A and B are shown apart, each in its own frame.
Chain A
């Protein structure tokens, strides 16, 4: 094996610790006792709720991260995240309220077009949260299929698939996603290309994990027995191998969501992610970067939002991992 062979071995080591019957319930109860994991879960729940509510509010039909048209809720409670103030009524790039020149009307100030910063932050949650989950999910599905097929059939299938996976792994995800987004979209980038790009870029991580699980499960007695009684390969995969790998995949997926959010923020920072006027954290950082001298506050908030969200997923992922793999705590 070429790249990351030790990692695969590590995976196998830790993989063998998962007993097929360590129940889901058991994991949950462990998480309940783990303060940090619980904290992570709360963060995810809050961010998720915000994302959900704002998406429903923004427009049910735009769950595809497309253009946002209505902001009923935001408007009734707070400020329309895309509404520009009438000419001459609000200042552009106001600082937060605790700095001279700020006001409580816009607690975190306004953006370059005089739009309320808080409401743009809140509505920006949607892109990060859903892209994080959907793109990781795509990678998980793709990786599971590749890894399962590769591990189960072995031989030349395994060889070919694993070479392909290694190749994909060798191109840094961000680079792969940028090139994918720009060139496949024909120069008109959109966040949806980024979703697929990340999905493809994550196939290797998941494929590796699943493959190592398959290799270890395949050797188990009950699978041998099933095969001896004539159960089809596909059914063995479906009934025994994949369910048994679910827990570690979930851990990995939770942690990868954080990575996805990082990548997508980087992509938007470079101008190839969400397109204006869609509110998005990475995009906000891209724009505020130019105002580092005139208003440094604008750079702080979107970064904090990203940090908190990713931290939620990481805390929860770590908690899951500890619950499933109690060796180290």
Chain B
């Protein structure tokens, strides 16, 4: 089976999971007692017509199971084939429609489009930071096992996995923004905007500012990832270095550098790739907190704001999209794994 078919296959396998995410979030959000319309109209003596109009607008006038079918967009298909009772069902998840946010009075999918990119930018830079620092450190620790360099990197890793990322963020802000004033304490500068929006003269300056604004949140979010990756890198390198073929190569007088590069390094990266995939959940969770600490308008902040305002559709939408991001991220790492590891026969997934 080719890589393409493998990829396709993985996406197919992810469908039940994505469906499951929608079910779980839908149930959770609806476990809240009370009717969202009451919440919206908190203090008004609204007329029955108004209540009905609002219920209709947000699709709350249906029983729960129908609401769910509407939400995922199944009703819409039924409507297309003229199934009785679903005549004017709205488009749903399957059609890319996530409903209407009650608080913002805008389509949830519009909000996602502006909020997802900052989160992705943050997460990708955090992982980049983690990989760039963790891999060399892990290799160094493995080759200098039980020497000072190893001890230091292990201590760093230990502290990294034990510290709340948002606290690292707060400490960085206190140190670098409040006390030293070197770096901005929050918000991002988006590289996809026009420089003139920020009053910058050139694209180069825009990118420079993007980086400056990104440094602190990136470190705060990336530290945990760095620590876990470093641990795995180290143990996996040690394991590789103990393999028979490495010993053999050494016996033949192949230089250490070459052994490291040619024989030990590449196979050691497989567990790291897996780890990156699995760590996506903790990274997304961390991003929620980091976005709050650094006032970054991403998915995490949107989620918290939607929870604070009990904006049902938006909570649903953000959670579902966050779940999807994770699933897709895992698929990507799986594909990367298959690509790196020649031994994976693409079929074994199922």
Contact = CB atoms under 8 A, between A and B. Distances in A.
A296 B323 contact: no
A182 B307 contact: yes
Contact of B32 (A5, A175, A186, A258): A186
Contacts of A328: 235, 238-239
B113 interface: no
A179 B312 CA distance: 11
Nearest to B161: A314
A285 B167 contact: yes
Interface string B25-58: 1001111111000000000000000000000000
A174 B33 contact: no
Interface stretch (B187-195, B196-204, B278-286): B278-286
Given A174-B285, A307-B159, A311-B158, A266 B24 contact: no
Interface string B1-20: 00000000010011011001
Given A170-B323, A269-B289, A1 B170 contact: no
A263 B165 CA distance: 10
Interface string A48-63: 0000000000000000
B315 A179 contact: yes
Given A164-B20, A167-B20, A269-B166, A174 B239 contact: no
Contacts of B174: 292, 296, 299
Interface in A199-253: none
Interface residues of B, number: 63
B21 interface: yes
Interface in A30-78: none
A270 interface: yes
A4 B330 contact: yes
Interface in A287-323: 289, 292-293, 296, 299-300, 302-303, 306-307, 310-311, 314-315
A139 to B, nearest CB: 14
A184 B31 contact: yes
Given A10-B271, A289-B293, A307-B159, A172 B281 contact: yes
Contacts of B274: 4, 6-7, 10
Nearest to A4: B278
A104 interface: no
Interface in A88-104: none
Q: Classify the interface of chain B: helix, strand, loop or mixed.
A: helix
Interface string A263-285: 10110011000000000000001
Contacts of A174: 285-286, 288-289
A317 to B, nearest CB: 10
A180 interface: yes
A4 B277 contact: yes
Given A172-B326, A179-B315, A307-B163, A167 B24 contact: yes
A184 B289 contact: no
A4 to B, nearest CB: 5
A184 B33 CA distance: 8
A326 interface: no
Interface in B266-324: 270-271, 274, 277-278, 281-282, 284-286, 288-289, 292-293, 303-304, 307, 310, 315, 319, 322-323
Interface string A156-184: 00000001101111111111001110111
A43 B32 CA distance: 40
Contacts of A163: 16-17, 20
B284 A7 contact: no
B176 interface: no
B322 A172 contact: yes
A22 interface: no
B96 interface: no
A6 B270 contact: yes
B289 A270 contact: yes
A154 to B, nearest CB: 15
A220 B292 CA distance: 51
Contacts of A183: 28-32, 315
Interface in A1-20: 1-7, 10
B171 interface: yes
Contact of A311 (B14, B162, B173): B162
B170 A303 contact: yes
Interface in A176-197: 178-180, 182-184, 186-187
A171 B293 CA distance: 21
B264 interface: no
A310 B170 contact: no
Contact of A303 (B167, B286, B307): B167
Nearest to B350: A1
26 contacts: A3-B14, A4-B278, A5-B349, A7-B274, A167-B17, A170-B17, A170-B327, A171-B25, A171-B322, A172-B288, A174-B286, A174-B288, A174-B289, A179-B29, A180-B28, A182-B32, A183-B315, A258-B162, A270-B289, A292-B178, A293-B178, A296-B178, A296-B179, A299-B167, A302-B167, A311-B159
Interface of A: 1-7, 10, 163-164, 166-175, 178-180, 182-184, 186-187, 258-259, 262-263, 265-266, 269-270, 285, 289, 292-293, 296, 299-300, 302-303, 306-307, 310-311, 314-315, 327-328
Given A171-B326, A178-B307, 19 more contacts: A2-B17, A2-B349, A7-B274, A10-B274, A163-B17, A167-B24, A170-B326, A171-B322, A172-B282, A174-B288, A178-B288, A180-B28, A183-B29, A184-B32, A186-B33, A259-B282, A263-B285, A266-B164, A310-B161
Interface of B: 10, 13-14, 16-17, 20-21, 23-25, 28-34, 158-159, 161-164, 166-167, 170-171, 173-174, 178-179, 235, 238-239, 270-271, 274, 277-278, 281-282, 284-286, 288-289, 292-293, 303-304, 307, 310, 315, 319, 322-323, 326-327, 330, 334, 337, 349-350
9 nearest A-B pairs in the assembled complex, by CB-CB distance: A167-B20, A174-B285, A303-B167, A172-B285, A310-B162, A311-B162, A6-B274, A172-B281, A172-B284
